[in-house]
Structures are given as structure tokens and as C-alpha cells.
Structure 1
Amino acid sequence: MHTDTAAGPTLPEAGFRLRPATARDADFLTAMLTEAFNWDGPRLTRDEILAAPHIAHYVTDWPRAGDFGAVAEAPDGTPLGAVWARRFPADDPGYGHVDPQVPELTAGVLPEHRGRGIGGALLDAVVAMAARSGVDRLSLSVEDGNHAAGLYASRGFVTVGREGDSDTMLLRVDAG
């Protein structure tokens, strides 16, 4: 296995590689935010997501100071999925908000590429980025029935709260 020092492992044997998310990924992150909201079927369009400030704030002005993330791409450079982290103030919290100092993760993988280890590899890369940057905790929100909850639990996220039909999960990052 090769290592990309900026994002974590690259996985050529799995047919994808990881790289840090940059400003040029803003549109793809918006697509992945749309996937995250529509994990169980169509609910919101991209335009509806961007028109809702409490949702759009996950991608607005990407990247802001303190934002970090990773993108998985096919060997030809086609993006397949992304995981990214952003802090939210107490007066504009995200769905998985724990504290303004705790970045909240958003994750999405294109449906036709799920189940190939992309989400886990992205999650591991972003947790490693957090550790390298001194972030000690990460949070996220996951709805009931979303199979990604098992992935998050397998990586050490624990449920610390509940809002509606979603759990707020927290990971204590090991600075290693």
C-alpha cells in the first residue's frame, strides 16, 4: 500500500486513490452533501439544499479556515466520494453539532461505488488529518436506518445525543 502524506493511504488495488479536498472540489462536495441527504432515496434536490442555509452551510465558501477533508477518485481522476470536516458556531449548528470547537463530518459516496471500502478509507484519512492538525474530537449525525452508522461505530464513534430520528456521534481522536 502506498501512502499519500497529505490525505492518508492510497489504495490502487481497490481501484481508487485518496487526496486532500481543495477549493476546486466545492461542486463535488455539494454533490456528496446531496447524496448524504438522499441516502435512502430522493428527498431534496441540489437546488433545495443550496437554498436551505442550515444545510448549505456544510459547503458554503469551501474551504474556510480550519476546514479539511479528502476525496476518493478513480485512476482517471473521476471523484467517487468525499468526507470533510467543518466547525459550526453555536448560533448556526450543524445536525451533528456538539461544540463549536468540534468539527462535524459530512460523508458521501456515489451510490454505484458504495460497498467498496471508499467510505471507510475516506473516514480514516480525515481522522488522520484531524489528528495531525491537533483536533481532538469529531462529530457527525446519522439517521436511523443508515448503514453508515455501522461504519462510524466500527471506527470508534459513539452516540452522544439524539435529535429527531438521528443520532449525534462523537469520536475522540487519538493524536497517536
Structure 2
Amino acid sequence: MPVHIRPAQTFDAAFAAPLIQATIGPIGRALTGTETDEEAAHVLAEFFPLRGHRLSFTHTLIAEVGPQPAGLLVAYPGDLAPDLDGLFREHRRSRGLSPGTEPEGQPGELYLDTLAVVAEHRGQGLGAALLEAAARRAVTQGLGRLGLLVEAGNPAARLYARQGFRPTGERLVAGTRYIHLARHLEGGRP
């Protein structure tokens, strides 16, 4: 069945939020100031329809197989990363927590915050299709690379390597060590 990629809409929150949280785990719990994935997914579902933050529908692409959503990609310009956490900082304050968050994106890249495909559609090319859509978006925005963080041993690292991503360093985010990968793009800024 063909894959269709479209911009997310506010009504995608019920599909997107649990899938995002299942993928980002400790980062989602840190952003939302919650202790469980279920609590974090609930907060993300409330925030997804809002604009101006890193996990907003405005930064999300949905991959559909037939009429059903089957995967997603959340991406935003790395230059905006510090500014996109205001809603999360305010939410953490409201829970009596430190407002500190850790921006992940770097200047000059379209930062791929989350790439996720539901289990029954993995291995069918949805991840690669979403990455190519992100590459087109990056070039359109004049950005010269895609960047992302991946945990060592994550099976998705094989997909990223096949798509031209290479390690550029390591980062510690929400107490977890990640490898920063980048893919340079033709047509964007260097």
C-alpha cells in the first residue's frame, strides 16, 4: 500500500502523543516533569495541538498507510531549540519543579526530535520516507544538514546510517547518553 506523508493536524494528538512518548522516554518525562510514560503522554496529548513548542503539530509530519496514520516525524530548526521549550518550562514551574530543560537541536540543522513508526508497519520504508520528507523540508528552509540524537544500540541507527547520517559527537540529555548524528544536504546552507 502506498505511503502518504502529510503535515500533522491538531486532531492527530491521540495518535501522536503516545507514539512520541514511547520513542523519547526519559526526555519526555523530563520535559513534562512526570514520572511515568503514561503521565508524560497525557501532557504531550494536551500540548500537541498548541503552537510554539518543540512537540507541536506544527513541527510534525504524519505517514499514512491507506487511511490510517502509521508513523511520524517531529523536526524543527535547531536554531529555535532554546525558544521552543517555553511551554515545558512553564509546565514544570507549575508543578513546583525547576524550569530547566535541555535543548537538543543545534544551529544550522533541521533537528529530528522524534521519528517513530508503529510496530506493524516497521520495515516497510516509512522511516526512510519520513527522513526524505525532512530532508526536503530542511533544504526548503535553507538548512544544510539534518541532525538527531540516538542511543547507542538503538536498531534505528542502521536506518540512519543507510540514509547518510554520520556520528558527530555525544550528548547527555535527561541523564541518558546519546550519539549526535548528522546528514549533510545539498542545496541547503553549509
Tell me the TM-score normalised to structure 1 length: 0.69
Higher mean Cα deviation, 27-36 or 107-116? 27-36
Which has a greater percent of helix?
2
Match of 2:8 among 13, 21, 24: 21
- 1:66-105 aligned at under 5 Å gives the runs 67-75=58-66, 77-86=67-76, 87-89=80-82, 92-94=101-103, 96-99=104-107, 102-105=109-112
Alignment length, in residue pairs? 150
Question: How big is the alpha-carbon RMSD for the aligned residues of Structure 1 and Structure 2?
Answer: 2.9
Q: Distance in 1 between matches of 2:53 and 2:36?
A: 28
Percent identical pairs in the alignment equals 29
Structure 2 residue aligned with 1:175: 187
Q: How far does the alpha carbon of each residue in 1:7-60 deviate from its partner, in whole angstroms, 9 at most, with x for none? A: xxxxxxx4432212233333433222123136xxxx952313566xxxx6xx65
Question: What amino acid maps onto 1:21 in structure 2?
Answer: A
Letter in 2 for 1:129: R
Which one of 131, 135, 138 corresponds to residue 139 of structure 2? 131
Gaps of 5+ in 2: 26-34, 84-99
TM-score, normalising length from structure 2?
A: 0.65
Q: Which structure would you say has the larger Rg?
A: 2
Does the CA contact (< 8 Å) of 2:10 and 2:48 recur in 1? no
Given that residues 71 and 80 in structure 1 are in contact (C-alpha distance below 8 angstroms), is that contact kept between their aligned partners in structure 2? yes
2:111 corresponds to which letter in structure 1? Answer: E
The answer for the alignment partner of 1:108 in structure 2 is 116
Question: Match for residue 5 of structure 1?
Answer: none
